[in-house]
Amino acid sequence: MAESTASTTPSIGQQHRWNIRQLQEQALETLYLLTEFAGLVVTFLTYAAREQWQGGVLGLMLMLFPFAAHALSRGRYLARAWLLVGLWFAVTGATSAWLPGTSAPVLLALPMALALLLISSAAGLLIGALASPLMMLPALVSGNGAPATDGLLSLILLWGLLALIWLALRPIYGSLGWSWEQYSQIRQQLAQARDTQADLKQALKDVDEAGAQMIRLNELLGAARRAAEEAQRAKTEFVTNVSHELRTPLNMIIGFAEMMLQAPGTYGRLPRMLRADLAVILRNSQHLSELIDDVLDLSQIEARQMALTREPTQLSEIVTAAAEAIRPLFQMKGLYLTTEVPDDLTLYCDRTRLREVLLNLLSNAGRFTEQGGVCVKAQVADHAVTVSVADTGPGIAPEDQSRLFQPFQQVDGSIRRRFGGSGLGLAISKHFVEMHGGNMWMDSTPGKGTIIYFQLPIDAPASPATAALRWLNPEWEYRQRTRPALAPVPKIKPRVVVVEQGTVLQRLLRRYWGETEIAHAKTLGEAANELAHRPARALLVNDLSVGATVEHIRQANVLPSGTPALVCALPGEAQAAQRLGVEGYLVKPISRAALLEALDQLGITEGTVLLVDDEQDAIQLFWRMLASSGRGYRVLTANTGERALSILRSERPDVILLDLVMPGTDGFHLLALREQEKAWRDIPVIVMSARDPSGHAIAVSSVGIVHGGGLTVPQLLAYIQMVTGPLTSNGLPERPELLTAFPD
C-alpha cells in the first residue's frame, strides 16, 4: 500500500514541468487573443487601400484561424501550440513573398520565438531551420548583391535573436525550478511543523494529566505518611506499655531469686539443687530484662541500625551457655541435645545477640520435636563459620519454608496451633545474623526433620584506611626489626570523660560502646583535672542547660587543644526525680543493693518505711529486701493510694517507697497531695517504677559541640558530615567509632 502511494506521488521535477506547462497554456490563450487582435488591425489597415487586398486576406486568416484551431485541437495543448506556430509561420512567410526587397523576412523570427516559448528548444530550432531558406530566397532569385547581404543580415539577426531568447529562458526556467523545489521543501517542513505542533499539544496534554495524577499521588502519599506516623506513635506507646507490664512481673522473679541466692537465711536452709535452679532462673530473667531493653530500642530505631556490641568471643562458650539454658526443656521431654563446636573458634560478634539466636533456634526445635533430639554443629570454611541446628521433628513443607523468616508468619497446621508461638523468633534471628554480615536459611523434609543454618564471618571488619593512615608520617624512615618483640602488645581502649550527676549516659555508653574506657566526673572542674593528667578522646557532658554548659566550657578553657566536647540533655533518674519533686527514682527490676543504696543516700538506715505498690508480690519482695538488711526497718505497706493516705494521716514514716502507676489514686496524685500538706512535704519519697525515663522515642532535643583550640575548615566540614549523616539515614551507624565521630 505504501509503495503504490509512493509511485503515484509526482516528483519535484514532474511538478516543475507541470507548472511550466500551466504557464505555457496561459500564455497560449493570451497569444490566441493577440492573434485575433492583430488580424483585426491588419484588416482595418488594408481596408482603405483596396489595392492591398493580400493584407486583408492575411488579416482575415489571423482573425478566423483561432476558432478553427480550437475546433481542430479539441483542447490538446501541443496541437493548439503547433497550429499557432504554423499560422504565424505561414503568415510571415507569405508576407515575405508579398513584400520582396523589404525587411519583411525578419518577421520569421516570430514563429521561431513562439515555438521556443510554447513548445521546446528543439521546436524553435526546427522552425528556424525552415525559416532560413525563406529568408535567403528573395536574394537568390534577384541575383543582386545588396539584397543578398540584407538576407544574410536578416538570417544572422534571426539566429542571434533565437540564441538570446534561449539564453534568457535558461535562468528563468532554472529559477522557477529552484523556487518550486524550495516551495516544496517549505511545504514539507510546514507539514512536519504542524505534526510536531500536534505532538507538542498532545505532550502538553499528557503533562497536564501527569501533573494532575502527581497531585493526587502526593495527596495519597501525604495521607499514607500521616497514617505511618500515627502507626509509629501507636507502636511506640504500645512497646512502652508492654515493657512496663513485663518489667513488673520480671521484677518479682529477679528480686526473689536474688533474695534466695544472696540472703538464703531469710528462707531457712535451701537445698543445693534448688539453689542451682534458682541460679538458672536468675540468669534467664536477667537475659529477659536485657531483651526488654532491646524491644525499646526496636521502637526507636530501624532494624538495620540497632546497636551491636562486637568483641572477640569463643563460639563454644556461646553455644554452651545457650544449650545449658535450654537443656531443662529437652530433659523434661526425654530428648538429647548435643553440640559439636571447635574449642578454639573465635568470632568477632555480639555475644548477647548470637546467644539469643541460638536460644530461639533451640527453643523452636525443642518445642516441635517429640522423639530424638537436636544436634548443634559448627564448621569453618573460607573465613566463615556455618552453624547448623538439626532436629528430628515433623519437618516443614516446601511451600511454607519461604514464609517462616517473615514476621508473624507461621505454618498453618496442627503442629503450630499445638505449640503456639508469635511468628517473630525466626525473623528476629535472621535479622541479627544479617547485622553481623551473615545469612540464614533452612533445609527441611516433612517427616524427617529440619536443619536451620546460619553463616557468620570469622574475621573482624577491616577499619577504614583513613583511620590507620592518619597515624602515619610519610617522612618517617622504615627500619626492619631484627628480632621479635618480647613485650606484650597492650590493648588500648578509646577513653572518654563523662560529666553527669546520674549514670544514664554512662549506662548507654557501656551498653553500646562496650570497648570504651569511661572516666566519670561530677563537675567540669574534676573533668578538667582528669583531662590534664590523662588524655581522652572526648569530653561528654549530660546537663539540662546545654547552652549555658557550652559557654562555660568555652570560657573556662576546660578542654586541651584538639579535644572535642559534646553536651546533651539526656534525662535520667536524677532528672526524673527532680521533675517529680522526689528524692530518688529507681527503675524496675530493682535489686536489693540498689534499694539499700538509695536509702543510704538519704541517710535512712533505720526507722519507718511506707511501701506503696498495687502489686502484692512487689510488696512482699521489697518487704523481704528491707527485712533481710538487718537494719531494723519498720515497714508499713499499702496496696492503694487511698490506703497510703490513710496511713499518712495517722503515721509519719521516715521515707516513702512509691509506685507511680496504680488504679484509683495513683502515685502522681499522691505526690500532688504531698505538696499541698505541710506535714507530709518534708517526707522523702523514692519512686519505684517500671517506666524508664530514658526510654522515650526522643532521647534529647538539643546537642552542643565545643572543640578545644577551635576548628579548621576541614574539621568543620567533618563535623557537619558527622552530624548530618545519621540524621539523613534516620538513625545511628551500625558500629559507632570514636575515632571517626570525634576527629582530631
Note the pLDDT of residue 510. 79
589, 539: one domain: no
Note the pLDDT of residue 451. 92
Note the pLDDT of residue 666. 83
Note the pLDDT of residue 30. 82
Note the pLDDT of residue 729. 40
The DSSP element (H or E) to which 627 belongs, if any, is helix 616-627
Average pLDDT over residues 67-72: 70
CB 564 within 8 A of CB 707: yes
CB 137 within 8 A of CB 93: no
Residue of 719 and 684 predicted with greater confidence:
684
678, 701: one domain: no
The DSSP element (H or E) to which 520 belongs, if any, is strand 517-521
Residue 676 has pLDDT above 80, yes or no: yes
Note the pLDDT of residue 466. 47
CB 541 within 8 A of CB 567: yes
319, 307: one domain: yes
Note the pLDDT of residue 452. 92
The DSSP element (H or E) to which 252 belongs, if any, is helix 145-262
Residue 697 has pLDDT above 50, yes or no: no
Q: Is residue 618 part of a domain?
A: yes
49, 118: one domain: yes
What whole-number distance in Å separates Cα of residue 618 and Cα of residue 272?
Answer: 26
Average pLDDT over residues 68-81: 74
Average pLDDT, the chain: 76
pLDDT 10s digits, 377-428: 999 988 899 999 999 988 888 877 777 776 545 554 444 344 444 455 677 7
657, 680: one domain: yes
207, 244: one domain: yes
Q: 14-18, 275-279, 578-582, 730-734: lowest mean pLDDT where?
A: 730-734
Note the pLDDT of residue 390. 93
Q: Is residue 290 part of a domain?
A: no
Note the pLDDT of residue 13. 61
Q: Is residue 191 part of a domain?
A: yes
CB 558 within 8 A of CB 499: no
**What CATH number is given to the structural domain containing 548?**
3.40.50
Spatial neighbors of 329 by CB under 8 A, at least 6 apart, are 363, 366, 367
Query: Which domain-ending residue is among 401, 433, 457?
Result: 457
Residue of 342 and 110 predicted with greater confidence:
342
Residue 658 is part of which domain span? Answer: 574-689
Candidates 387, 402, 376; CA nearest to 453 is 387
Given the C-alpha cell 544572422, which residue does it identify?
156
End-to-end CA distance of the chain: 79
**What CATH number is given to the structural domain containing 393?**
3.30.565.10
Residue 103 has pLDDT above 50, yes or no: yes
**What CATH number is given to the structural domain containing 594?**
3.40.50.2300
Q: Is residue 183 part of a domain?
A: yes
658, 715: one domain: no
Residue 29 has pLDDT above 70, yes or no: yes
Average pLDDT over residues 263-272: 77
166, 49: one domain: yes
589 cis-preceded (ω within 30 degrees of 0): yes
Residue of 42 and 148 predicted with greater confidence:
42
Residue 320 has pLDDT above 70, yes or no: yes
Note the pLDDT of residue 505. 83
564, 647: one domain: no
Note the pLDDT of residue 422. 43
Note the pLDDT of residue 219. 75
Query: Which domain-ending residue is among 200, 231, 258?
Result: 258
What whole-number distance in Å separates Cα of residue 136 and Cα of residue 150?
Answer: 9
Complete edge-to-edge strand list for the sheet that includes strand 633-638: 584-587, 685-689, 655-658, 607-612, 633-638
3-state helix, strand, coil in the chain (%, to 5): 60, 15, 25
Note the pLDDT of residue 293. 67
What confidence tier does 498 reach under pLDDT thresholds 50, 70, 90?
Answer: very high
CB 339 within 8 A of CB 323: yes
Average pLDDT over residues 595-614: 90
Average pLDDT over residues 462-491: 57
165, 125: one domain: yes
Q: In the numeric block, which cell numbers belong to residue 194?
A: 504542524
336, 379: one domain: yes
68, 202: one domain: yes
What whole-number distance in Å separates Cα of residue 605 and Cα of residue 597?
Answer: 10
**Helices of type H across 369-503:** 398-401, 414-419, 425-435, 465-469
Instruction: Give the torsion through C-alpha atoms of 573, 575, 581, 587, to 10 deg.
Output: -10
Q: Is residue 252 part of a domain?
A: yes
Maximum distance among all Cα pairs of the chain, rounded to whole angstroms: 175
Burial call 144-161: b when 16+ CB within 10 Å, e when fewer: eeebeebbeebbeebeeb
Average pLDDT over residues 309-323: 88
Average pLDDT over residues 55-76: 71
Percent of the chain with pLDDT over 70: 72
Residue 176: Cβ within 10 Å count:
14
pLDDT 10s digits, 195-218: 888 888 888 888 877 777 777 777
pLDDT 10s digits, 509-531: 877 776 788 889 988 888 888 88
What confidence tier does 464 reach under pLDDT thresholds 50, 70, 90?
Answer: very low
β-bridge pairing 685-689 and 633-638 = unpaired
Q: Is residue 519 part of a domain?
A: yes
What confidence tier does 682 reach under pLDDT thresholds 50, 70, 90?
Answer: confident
Residue 142 has pLDDT above 60, yes or no: no
Q: Is residue 733 part of a domain?
A: yes
The number of folded domains in the chain is 4
Q: Is residue 197 part of a domain?
A: yes
Note the pLDDT of residue 148. 54
Average pLDDT over residues 161-188: 72
CB 421 within 8 A of CB 410: yes
Candidates 103, 140, 108; CA nearest to 124 is 108
Q: In the numeric block, which cell numbers belong to residue 250?
A: 520480671
